[in-house]
Amino acid sequence: MKIYNNLLSKDECEAFKSFWQKNKDSSYVNAEVDGQIIDRRIVITPEYKPYYDIVKRIVNRVFENTYDMWAAYQEQSFCHDIHIDDYRKEQSKHDRYTIILSMDTIPEFRTVVWRDECINNDELTKRVKFWQLKHKFSRRSNISEDQDLEHTINYNNDYFCDYLVLDDVYTYKQGGGAAFKATQLHCTSNWKKYPQFTSRQLLQIHTLADRIK
């Protein structure tokens, strides 16, 4: 995982937020629960040229030799549990990567990334079941207590994340971002515990690449 402080300028962050407000009605629903939409997205395609060009600039700055790219501006009203990104999981020729970029500085919004990897979320499910049954793993940390991770996988209040090897924690800073392998386990902090927040916005990019520069 690599953390960046200035992938977007302040003006670009404000432009993306305005872009979302103007185009939100054309976004697609990525997830809903009990009829309530919890995740809406707009894919940044070449037709949105200024924004698409920004995405390309970021990808070229962060990665060595890219082979595919997908980006979406997102508004979400839920906290992610531990998962991996299934982007292009059907191919194995190139490594899969994710970049998240924040539009605002909000210390309560964090992304936690571990060094542990799974090929897909089915493999992660199997690993969690094995952890629950055997429970002979070595505890690595108390990160569940330090990073607002009480919403994540647990068994009798013993948290799976405490048995993983931490890579790093990204705290949302305007224009900043974090790049990591899409196969690395990661999640958001439980920002919904803070009543002043009802949703969060971000720009997410997926790419196939040789490596992070």
Would you say the pTM of this structure is higher than 0.75? yes
Can you list the domains of the chain with their CATH numbers?
2-111+169-182+189-212 (2.60.120.620)
Express the helix, strand and coil content of the chain in percent, nearest 5 each.
25, 40, 35
Cβ atoms 166, 115 nearer than 8 A:
yes
Q: Mean pLDDT in runs of 10 for the chain (213 residues)?
A: 97 98 95 95 97 98 96 98 95 94 98 97 95 81 95 94 97 98 98 97 98 97
Cβ atoms 70, 96 nearer than 8 A:
no
pLDDT of residue 137: 76
pLDDT of residue 135: 67
| 102 vs 98: CA distance, rounded Å | 13
pLDDT of residue 138: 84
